[in-house]
Structure 1
C-alpha cells in the first residue's frame, strides 16, 4: 500500500487493513473454474491452446523469444513441469536462481500474454534422469518413490511447500497467470494406490496450491482407474493422428462422462534413444489433429511445442520387454513445432494456419510473427590438443575412498557423472571378469590400457581378461541416465550395483574415485600413461556470437564443455551426431572447448560448427 494512501483503509489498524486489502485483491483476481464440459475464465468459455516447454532445456536468455513465438502460433498457455532434481540437488539445498528461476519463467510468460499450467510432480517423467526425482533419494536404502513410504512423503511435502513459496502467489486465485496445477503425473501407468494419490492431492493443498487441480493419464480404462481422482478433472494423453485423438476421447468420455475435455499431452513428435532411429511426425498429421480438437472445442497441450536440449546430466532412460535399458539422447528436439534452435518448422506454420483459420471464424486474429527464426552459423574446423588422460587426472579430480565392496554411486554421495573402481591384483590370473551389474557402461583397463567395455543396454556383463601379478585393474563406469518411467524407478542405482568376480572369486577391497566432473575447467596437462578416456582442449574465435551445432562425428562417446557450459553427451552410435550450441553461451573473440572422449585415437580429430543438426545412425 502506498504511503500516500488516504482512503478508508488508512483509518483502520495495520493487520485489519492488510486483511481487507487481501480480500479486495482476491475479489479482483481473475476467475478460472470448470463448468460442465468447459473451462471458464472470467465467466466466459476458455479453450486452452497450450504448448509444453521446459525451462531447464532452454537457456534463460531465450525464454522470451520462445514465448513470443508461442503466442504468434496461436497458443494462449504455456505448460511446464517443475523439476525437483534441479531445485533441490542436495537435501535442503534449494536452487531457484538463473536457469532454475521458475518464478521468472512464469512471469515472463505472463508478460508475453500467456497463461500457465504448472505440473509440479513431484514425479514428472519428461525423459529426464530418475523422472525428475533428485538422485539423493536413492541414498536411503529401501526408500520407495511414488508410494506412501513416510520418508518419501516427507521429502515430497517439503519440496511442494518450498515450491509454493516461490510461485504460489502467481496462481490465478491470487491474480497470477497459473490457471491449473497437475497432481502427480500419469500415475495410472505406474500404480493404483488411490490412498497415495489422495495424499498427493492433500500435499498440494497443504503446500498452498489453491488453484484448480487435475490429473493426467494415457487413454485407457486401466490407466484412468489407477491415476484419476473422482473429485478432480481428468485429462488424457496420446500421440498419432486424428483417429488416435478420437479414440482417446471416447475412452475418457466412457470413464468420466462429465467434465472438461482436454489433451493434457498431445505428442506432436517423439524423443530419441541412443542407438535407435530418429523420430519424426508428419506436419500435416499434427496440424489436422489440432484442427479437429479446435472444432470439437477440446482444449489441448502440444507436447512439445519446443523441446530444446537436455543439457548436462539431465537425460534419463527407458526400458522395454526387448530392451533392458534405453538411454535418452541429449537432444530433446522432439520434432516439435520449434526446432532445437528455436527455428520455425513446417509443423509450426501448418498448425498456425489451422489455429488462425479457427480464430478467423470467430472474428479474431493472431499476432504477427516476431523475429521469424534465428539464424545459425557455421564454425570452421578447429583443432584440439590432448590435455590429460582421465586416469592421469585422478589426483586433480578425486580422492580415493577405501571400500570393502564396490558399491553404487549413490552410496558414496554421488549423483551423476562417472565413477572409478580400482583394485590391485596380487597374483597372476586368467579368466572371466563378471561385473554384476555395471550401470550403465563399464570401461575396463589393466595397467592403464583399455581391454574392453561392457554395456548395460546390450546386456553385457562378462569379459575375458589375462592379468599379470601386480596389475592394476580399473573399472570406469559411466551413468548414462536413470530410468524415468515404469516399475524400475526404485532400483536405478548407478555404478557397480552388486559385485565383481574374477575367475569365479569375488574381488574385495577397492579404492573408489567419484567423478561428478563438476569442476573440469582448471584441469592441467599430465604426461600420458593410459590409453583410456582423455580430455582434449581446443577453441575457436568468432566475430559475433550465434547458434551452431557441433559436429561430433569421429569422437566416439563423451561430453563437451563450451565456455564452462556442459552441453551434454555425444555418442557415435547415433542417431544424434551433433550438439546444439546456444549462441547466448558464446562470446565475440575466443571461445574455449573441452572434450572428454572414450576414443584414444582422436588426437587428429577436429570439431566444426554446422548450421543444422545431424541425425543419422551409422
Structure 2
C-alpha cells in the first residue's frame, strides 16, 4: 500500500473510531437510580421481575416461557450467567445454542421484558461449584472468592468475554439490560472488602458502565460483608408479610437511603436427594407480592420458572445434621411455571395480584396459548446391556499412579472415576477410604460388596477383602457444594488414601468417566449384575414433553437420544426425569440408563404426563460418625 493510501486509511479509521466513541457517549441511558427510586425512560419505575436461567430451559422453549412471564404481569426477567458452561476449559468459550445469552435477552425484549443480569463470577443457584468452572480446582491452593491473583485473573478474563456478548444490550447504550449484580450474596461467605471492591472494579473495567447492585440476605450479619457503601443494596428472603416487614426494617436501618428491592423473593424452594419435596402456598407468595406493590417495592421472584439442572449441573449443600446434601436434577422450585412449562395455581394468584397494581395505561397481556401438552409413553423394555467394567476400554484410557488421584488432578470436571488396585499381600479385612467424594460403589473381583455415601460421612466398609483381590471403587461426583465456606474443598473422587485392614493400598489405575460420549458402547443381550449400561427404545406418533418414570431402578443416569437428562435415585423425592419435547422425535427414540447399583427387578421405563415425588422411607438413615480428618 502506498504512503498516501496508508495515511488515508488511517485517517478514515480514526474518524470512524471517534464517531463510534461519540455515539456511545451520546446515547442516553434508559435506566438510572435516582435517590430512593429507579427511573426508566425518565419515569419512576417499579421492577416486577422473575428469574429464569437460559441453560436450564431448552432454547426452543425460551420465547414461550418469556411470553408467560409477561402475561403474568412481569416487566423484567433476571438471569445468572453460568461461567462453568461458558468457559468449560481455560480460554475456550462457548456462547452458542442454548448458551446464547444475548439471544435470550433479545427474545425477552421482543416479548416486552427488560433484563437484569447477574454474571457472578460466583452465582450459587444450586449449581455445581456455585457456577465456578471445575478447572479452577486443578490449581493447588487456589482460593475462589478471594484476592488470590490466579482466581482474579481468571474471573477478569471471563467478565471481559461476557461483555463482548452483552455490550450492545446494556441500558447505558439504550439496551434492555437495566442493571447488573456485583458478585452474589458475598455477605453469606466472607468479610473481605478489598475483594468486593475488586469485584466492582473488574466489572467496570470490563465495560459494564450501567447501574450495579449487590444482593444479600436480610440481616446485619449479611450486611457486614456484602454491600458496598456507594452501590445499591437489595435483599433476599422468603416468608410472608411479617418476614417482608422485618427484612426491609433491617435494610432501612443499615441503608437509610436508596431504592427498595427484593433481589430474590423465594416463592418456592429446591430439593435434596433423600429429603422431602418442597412446596409453598400460592396465597403466601401472592399476599407478600401485594405488600411489595402497595409500597412501590421492586421485586424478583426466585424462581418464576426453574427448569431442570440437566446433566451434571446440580450442586450440593451441607448442614449441621448432614455433611453433604446433593441437589436433585429437577429445579422445578415449586415455581409459578412448572418444570414442563405449565402455569400453576401460584401463577394465577400472582397474575391476579399484579393485575391490581398496574401503572396508568398498562394492561395485562392475554394468557398465551398453552404449548404442547405433556404425553404419556407406554412402558418399554431395555433389553440390551453392557457391564461398565467391560465398557472401560470403550470409555477411557487408564492412568497409573502410586496414590489415588482426585478427579481434578485427572483433568476431569464431572462424572465418575473408576479406581482399580490389588489388595496388598498382608492386607485383610475392612476397607477404609479417606475420603469419598461423593458416592462409591465397591466391587471385589467384579462383584458389588457395598457402598460408601458421603451424605452420612461413610468411610469404612465391613468387607472381608483378601490379598490379591481386584478392588474397584466406582466414585461418582454428585455435585460440588455451591454455598458456604466449603467451596474450596470440593475436589472429587478419592481425596486422600485407601486402606484394607492396616495396610495402605498403592499402585492405582484410574479410568476417567465423564460419559460425554456413549457412542462407542457395544451392547449385547446378556444379563448383567453390578454397574451397567442398559439400552432400549420407544416410538412416538408425535413428540411432546414427558416425565420418564425411574421407579424400580436404583441409582444412575439417563440419556435420551444422546441428551443427558440427569441423575435418578430411588431414595427420591424426585422419581421422574423431565424429557423436553425438542429432545424427542416422531418415530424411534433411544434411551440409555446407567444403573450404578444393579439389581433392578424390571428393566423397563414409561413416560408420565406429570412428575412423581416420593421419598423412600429409609432415605435419611442415621448418620454414622465420621473419623476426624
What's the TM-score bracket when you normalise by the shorter of the two chains?
over 0.9
Question: How do 1:1-80 and structure 2 match up within 5 A?
Answer: 15-16=14-15, 19-20=18-19, 22-24=21-23, 26-80=25-79
State the alpha-carbon separation in 2 of the partners of residues 599 and 484 from structure 1. 27
The answer to whether residue 505 in structure 2 is matched with residue 507 in structure 1 is yes
2:206 maps to 207
Contact 2:304 2:336 in 1 (8 A): yes
Partner SS, residue 390 of structure 2? coil
2:380 maps to 382
Matched residues, number = 606
State the alpha-carbon separation in 1 of the partners of residues 29 and 348 from structure 2. 32
Contact 1:342 1:374 in 2 (8 A): no
Judging changes above 3 Å, is the alpha-carbon distance between structure 1 residues 556 and 402 closer, same or farther for their aligned structure 2 residues?
same
**Structure 2, gaps ≥5 residues long:** 1-10, 617-629
TM-score between both structures, scaled by the size of structure 1: 0.96
Partner SS, residue 71 of structure 1? helix
Judging changes above 3 Å, is the alpha-carbon distance between structure 1 residues 393 and 21 closer, same or farther for their aligned structure 2 residues?
closer
Contact 1:449 1:530 in 2 (8 A): no
The answer to whether residue 398 in structure 2 is matched with residue 400 in structure 1 is yes
Pick which of 368-377 and 178-187 moved more.
Answer: 368-377
Question: How do 1:387-536 and structure 2 match up within 5 A?
Answer: 387-425=385-423, 427=425, 429-525=427-523, 531-536=529-534
State the alpha-carbon separation in 2 of the partners of residues 533 and 399 from structure 1. 19
Contact 1:190 1:486 in 2 (8 A): yes
2:599 maps to 601
2:334 maps to 335
**Structure 1, gaps ≥5 residues long:** 1-11
State the alpha-carbon separation in 2 of the partners of residues 582 and 289 from structure 1. 32
Contact 2:550 2:575 in 1 (8 A): yes
State the alpha-carbon separation in 2 of the partners of residues 448 and 508 from structure 1. 19
Q: 1:279-334: CA deviations, max 9, x gaps? A: 00000100111111011100000000000000000000000111100000000000
Contact 1:377 1:547 in 2 (8 A): yes
State the alpha-carbon separation in 2 of the partners of residues 382 and 583 from structure 1. 18
State the alpha-carbon separation in 2 of the partners of residues 16 and 399 from structure 1. 57
State the alpha-carbon separation in 2 of the partners of residues 459 and 183 from structure 1. 35
State the alpha-carbon separation in 2 of the partners of residues 79 and 346 from structure 1. 22
Contact 1:215 1:229 in 2 (8 A): yes
State the alpha-carbon separation in 1 of the partners of residues 485 and 20 from structure 2. 49
Judging changes above 3 Å, is the alpha-carbon distance between structure 1 residues 14 and 135 closer, same or farther for their aligned structure 2 residues?
closer
C-alpha deviation, 1:601, in angstroms: 2.1
The answer to whether residue 358 in structure 2 is matched with residue 354 in structure 1 is no
1:560 maps to 558
Contact 1:30 1:173 in 2 (8 A): yes
Partner SS, residue 515 of structure 2? coil
The answer to whether residue 614 in structure 2 is matched with residue 616 in structure 1 is yes
1:546 maps to 544
State the alpha-carbon separation in 1 of the partners of residues 196 and 266 from structure 2. 25
C-alpha deviation, 1:215, in angstroms: 0.3
Contact 1:188 1:228 in 2 (8 A): yes
State the alpha-carbon separation in 2 of the partners of residues 216 and 434 from structure 1. 43
Partner SS, residue 591 of structure 1? strand
Judging changes above 3 Å, is the alpha-carbon distance between structure 1 residues 470 and 504 closer, same or farther for their aligned structure 2 residues?
closer
2:108 maps to 109
Contact 2:552 2:602 in 1 (8 A): no
Aligned match for 1:372, one of 370, 373, 376: 370
2:621 maps to none
Pick which of 214-223 and 595-604 moved more.
Answer: 595-604
State the alpha-carbon separation in 2 of the partners of residues 425 and 326 from structure 1. 32
Partner SS, residue 354 of structure 1? helix
The answer to whether residue 234 in structure 2 is matched with residue 242 in structure 1 is no
Q: 1:445-485: CA deviations, max 9, x gaps? A: 01100000010001111012223443210011000000000
State the alpha-carbon separation in 1 of the partners of residues 198 and 25 from structure 2. 27
Partner SS, residue 383 of structure 2? strand
Pick which of 97-106 and 336-345 moved more.
Answer: 97-106
Contact 2:214 2:232 in 1 (8 A): yes
Partner SS, residue 225 of structure 2? helix
2:138 maps to 139
C-alpha deviation, 1:166, in angstroms: 1.1
TM-score between both structures, scaled by the size of structure 2: 0.94
Judging changes above 3 Å, is the alpha-carbon distance between structure 1 residues 282 and 257 closer, same or farther for their aligned structure 2 residues?
same
Q: 1:94-151: CA deviations, max 9, x gaps? A: 1111111111111111111110000000000000000000000000010000000011
Pick which of 182-191 and 12-21 moved more.
Answer: 12-21
Judging changes above 3 Å, is the alpha-carbon distance between structure 1 residues 530 and 471 closer, same or farther for their aligned structure 2 residues?
farther
Partner SS, residue 393 of structure 1? helix
